[in-house]
């Protein structure tokens, strides 16, 4: 596929052209946050920093109508009521602009939940098929990023339809646009080809990009987590600062928990799916009043365990990380950056490994 060049000054016009065929979600600055909004012609997408929110909302909307319903009384027998259902309309073709590669990789992990567990979720499948990702390669890692821990990279192409590589040549800023899929190639068809000097400049910039600090060896994390599962003192200490606000799960590109509720308006209503969070005490509260995850320690243990133990054990054939495991985490770092009390999932993982090693028998059969 031929690489193209997209000048920064042409970005709004090109996005407007895409918006004729797609519902375009583009990142814009709102205060200190960078959030996705429906593109309008007076908007200039902001691609200089990773969005605060996740691109997940394009394929798993935060709030979504599953169907509407209406009750009608049988006029000949008022004790009988008929129910009429109307399915939700098919999703519009959608293009989401500006995610980072860690966001695009999240699509594959959501697929595990909604497409590959035996029961296919039709709403998710429809959104997934209707959505294109035009992502932006990172030129540096923020201090909260750890994509290389989980098998990703700053310019990982997996999950993207187009990957934009920032480059400046001759004082002109823009992006070398690389099509990853045929749909992505069609998006770029009207852009000029990237010249040899542009490609050389990009190669120089990529070669000069500092390598991240080596990732820790996570090959034992799934088993180490299980070894520490029953140590509630450990998890109580790890969760001591947690507020159970759930921001980590709402901003995560791979968290898939949801709730389903009905909203009634007299004789009609709708069924909604909305994001939920396993960090909330209400998430596992049973009708009997019993709650199997009644403390923050139980809930944090579940979140970390799902990302780094349950998922890799369930999908052992899907290894992508240097550890030989696939984690339900892309290392985007949003849960660290936006946590109001600075809970760091990286440190929790390292602490799990260290505590499990302390607990394990030593070479002569004793206990450390």
DSSP 228-266: TTT-HHHHHHHTTT-----HHHHH-SS---EEEEEEEET
Tens digits of pLDDT across the chain (368 residues): 789 999 999 999 999 999 999 999 999 999 999 999 999 989 999 999 999 999 999 999 999 999 999 999 888 888 889 999 999 999 999 999 999 999 999 999 999 999 987 789 999 999 999 999 999 999 999 999 999 999 999 999 999 999 999 999 888 899 999 999 999 999 999 999 999 999 999 999 999 988 899 999 999 999 999 999 999 999 999 999 999 999 999 999 999 999 999 999 989 999 999 999 999 999 999 999 999 999 999 999 999 999 999 999 988 776 666 667 899 999 999 999 999 999 999 999 999 999 999 987 654 333 33
Position of tokens 């909305």? 274
pLDDT at position 364: 39
H-run or E-run covering 273: strand 268-275
Distance of CA 196 to the CA centre of its chain: 35
Tokens linked to 28: 């814009």
> Closest by alpha carbon to 161, among 138, 140, 177?
177
- In 88-209, DSSP assigns E strands to 94-97, 131-136, 162-169, 172-179
SS3 label, residue 176: strand
In angstroms, the CA 345 to CA 347 distance is 5
DSSP 44-85: ----SS--SS-GGGGTS-SEEEEEEEEEEEETTEEEEEEEEE
User: How many Å is the maximal CA-CA distance in the chain?
Assistant: 84
> Closest by alpha carbon to 99, among 166, 149, 26, 19?
26
Exposed / middle / buried, residue 162 (Cβ in 10 Å: 0-12, 13-18, 19+): buried
Report the C-alpha dihedral over residues 45, 47, 48, 49, rounded to 10 degrees. Answer: 110
Q: What's the Cα-to-Cα distance from 154 to each of 149, 193, 248, 307, rounded to whole Å?
A: 12, 23, 21, 21
pLDDT at position 117: 78
pLDDT at position 41: 87
Tokens linked to 40: 């309008």
Q: 346 near 214, Cβ under 8 Å?
A: no
In this structure, the strands spanning 131-136 and 162-169 are parallel
SS3 label, residue 352: helix
Position of tokens 């898939």? 256
pLDDT at position 361: 66
């Amino acid at each position: 596929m031929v690489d193209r060049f997209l000048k920064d000054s042409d970005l709004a016009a090109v996005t407007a052209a895409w918006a004729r065929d797609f519902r375009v979600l583009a990142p814009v600055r709102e205060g200190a946050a960078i959030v996705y909004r429906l593109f309008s012609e007076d908007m200039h997408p902001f691609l200089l920093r990773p969005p605060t929110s996740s691109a997940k909302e394009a394929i798993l909307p935060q709030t979504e109508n599953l169907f509407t319903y209406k009750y009608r009384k049988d006029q000949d027998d008022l004790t009988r009521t008929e129910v009429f259902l109307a399915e939700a309309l098919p999703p519009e073709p959608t293009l989401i602009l500006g995610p980072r590669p860690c966001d695009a990789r999240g699509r594959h992990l959501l697929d595990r939940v909604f497409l590959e567990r035996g029961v296919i979720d039709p709403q998710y499948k429809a959104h997934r098929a209707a959505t294109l990702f035009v992502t932006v390669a990172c030129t540096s890692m923020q201090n909260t990023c750890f994509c290389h821990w989980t098998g990703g990279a700053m310019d990982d192409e997996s999950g993207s339809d187009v990957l934009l590589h920032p480059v400046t040549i001759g004082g002109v800023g823009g992006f070398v646009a690389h099509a990853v899929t045929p749909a992505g190639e069609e998006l770029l068809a009207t852009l000029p080809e990237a010249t040899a000097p542009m490609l050389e400049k990009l190669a120089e910039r990529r070669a000069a990009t500092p390598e991240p600090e080596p990732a820790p060896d996570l090959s034992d994390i799934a088993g180490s987590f299980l070894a520490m599962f029953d140590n509630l003192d450990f998890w109580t200490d790890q969760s001591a600062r947690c507020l159970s606000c759930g921001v980590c799960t709402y901003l995560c590109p791979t968290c898939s928990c949801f709730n389903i509720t009905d909203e009634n308006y007299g004789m009609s209503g709708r069924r909604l799916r909305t994001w939920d969070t396993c960090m909330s005490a209400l998430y596992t509260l049973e009708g009997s009043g019993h709650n199997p995850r009644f403390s923050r320690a139980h809930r944090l243990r579940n979140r970390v365990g799902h990302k780094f133990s349950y998922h890799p054990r369930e999908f052992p054939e899907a290894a992508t990380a240097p550890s030989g495991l696939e984690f339900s985490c892309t290392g985007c770092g949003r849960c660290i950056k936006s946590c109001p009390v600075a809970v760091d999932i990286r440190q929790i993982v390292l602490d799990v490994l260290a505590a499990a090693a302390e607990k394990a028998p030593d070479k002569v059969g004793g206990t450390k």
